[in-house]
Amino acid sequence: MAIVVRLDVELARQKLGVGEFADLVGLTPANVAVLKNGRARAIRFSTLEAICRVLQCQPGDILEHVPGGDGEDVPGGAGEDMPGVGSETAGGGGARTGVPQD
């Protein structure tokens, strides 16, 4: 299965720039870019909640399941990388995307 992030669509629809959005959500612009470009491997519910609060949308407005995407029904493929759930690591750079925890 592939989860497609439609954050760019919502940002454009609301005429909100990456820098301003990043400030409102509590992320760095680089981490917003990781989400926008589909390179994030995970997202914390607290980050998703902050995104939805700022954009006044539902999670389904920014996340879409596309059947038959990369690794679907393949052992070890996408979606089976469960040990890192919540770790928020993005592919390659180890960037973290999340709202700072209090």
The whole-model pTM stands at 0.66
Check residue 71 and report its DSSP letter: T
pLDDT of residue 68: 83
State in Å, rounded, how far the first CA of the chain is from the last one: 33
For the stretch 24-83, pLDDT in tens is 999 999 999 999 998 999 999 999 999 999 999 999 999 999 998 665 443 334 433 333
Residue 15, pLDDT > 50, answer yes
